[in-house]
């Protein structure tokens, strides 16, 4: 196969008109759009192994998504210096590759990640979301109390079985470690922003956590109610999944040296991939 270069891509997108990240037949996806343009530039099958840090759902946005792709060394040498600008010229306007660089061979966008960080935007203004932010901000019909939201959030921080907040996959663990979960109200426009960070998330977990906290924040549930759902070992029917459009992947963290990248990837594979 010859020597290949692993390239890291830092990606942003407006998820409104995408059916999520992953390639799907007959559907417009972020990965599909990116692969189509890479093939236009490099040729069919030249870029291989496209792997992403977080496979965002339909309607979810990103400002800090990370992916990697493998390219033959001669192709990288010839096209690497101009590839970012060529991608900008051909990609649709709702997805951008913000940075493109050679990564260590040990780098794995998915398994080397130490954390993913998301933000969820909600407005409780009586007029709803600003027209210019309607695609990334949920309009909530009731007044929200930031202290109640943070009290609800505090009980969800740490390592727990989040089965009540996840769409379960066969033989996959729902144990996750949430290292940060807090809310603040922005000074500029009064929008409430939740920041949630964890080693990884299972499907629909962030939006389920937000949905549970919102009903505590508007007073319909006590602040301790979301944490009380952690005793469940199956998805809770009482938890409503917040709409996708308020959610944005804003950052992914990685170890700094190649040895740590490889060790992190190996440890994550053992944890996340079920044994045969």
3-state secondary structure the chain: CCCEEEEEEEEEECHHHCCCCCCCCCCCCHHHHHHHHHHHHHCCCCCEEEEECCCCCCCCEEEEEEEEEEEEHHHHHHHHHHHHHHHHHHCCCCEEEEEEEECCCCCCCCCCCCEEEEEEEEECCCCCCCHHHCCCCEECCCCCCHHHHHHHHHCCCEEEECHHHCCCCCCCCCEEEEEEEEEEECCCCCCEEEEEEECCCCCCHHHHHHHHHHHHHCCCCCCCHHHHHHHCCCCCCCCCCCCHHHEEEEEEECCCCHHHHHHHHHHHHHHHCCCC
Residue 152: pLDDT band with limits 50, 70, 90:
very high
Helix axes 146-154, 205-217, angle to 10 degrees: 130
Is 57 assigned a catalytic role?
yes
> What's the rounded mean pLDDT across residues 236-246?
96
Q: What span, in angstroms and rounded, lies between the C-alpha atoms of 72 and 155?
A: 48
Task: Kindly name the residue from 14, 57, 108, 199 that is annotated as catalytic.
Answer: 57
Q: What are the pLDDT digits (tens) for 36-78?
A: 999 999 999 999 999 999 999 999 999 999 999 999 999 999 9
Token readout for 83 is 């590839």
> What's the rounded mean pLDDT across residues 188-196?
96
Select from 12, 22, 81 the least CA-distant residue to 52: 22
Q: Would the pLDDT of 7 be above 70? A: yes
216 vs 260, which has greater pLDDT? 216
Q: Would the pLDDT of 219 be above 70? A: yes
Res 261: pLDDT: 80
The answer to whether 192 and 125 have CB atoms below 8 angstroms apart is: no
φ and ψ at residue 36, rounded to 5 degrees: -60, -45
276 vs 156, which has greater pLDDT? 156
């Amino acid at each position: 196969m010859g020597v290949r270069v692993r390239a890291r891509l830092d990606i942003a997108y407006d998820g409104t008109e995408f059916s999520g990240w992953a390639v799907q037949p007959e559907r417009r996806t972020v990965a599909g759009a990116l692969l189509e343009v890479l093939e236009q530039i490099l040729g069919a099958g030249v870029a291989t192994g496209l792997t992403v840090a977080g496979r965002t759902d339909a309607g979810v946005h990103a400002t800090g998504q990370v992916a990697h792709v493998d390219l033959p060394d001669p192709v990288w040498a010839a096209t690497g210096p101009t590839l970012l600008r060529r991608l900008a010229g051909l990609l649709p306007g709702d997805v951008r590759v913000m940075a493109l660089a050679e990564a260590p061979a040990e780098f794995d966008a998915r398994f080397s990640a130490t954390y993913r960080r998301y933000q969820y935007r909600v407005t409780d203004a009586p007029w709803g979301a600003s027209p210019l932010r309607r695609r990334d901000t949920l309009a909530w019909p009731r007044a929200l109390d930031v202290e109640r939201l943070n009290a609800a959030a505090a009980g969800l921080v740490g390592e727990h079985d989040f089965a009540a907040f996840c769409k379960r996959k066969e033989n996959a663990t729902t144990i996750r470690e949430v290292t940060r979960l807090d809310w603040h109200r922005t000074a500029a426009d009064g929008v409430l922003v939740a920041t949630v960070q964890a080693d990884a998330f299972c499907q629909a977990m962030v939006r389920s956590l937000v949905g549970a906290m919102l009903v505590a924040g508007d007073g319909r549930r006590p602040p301790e109610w979301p944490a009380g759902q952690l005793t469940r070992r199956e998805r809770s029917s009482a938890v409503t999944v917040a709409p996708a459009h308020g959610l944005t992947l804003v950052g992914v963290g990685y170890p700094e040296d190649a040895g740590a990248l490889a060790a992190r990837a190996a440890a994550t594979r053992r944890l996340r991939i079920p044994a045969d």
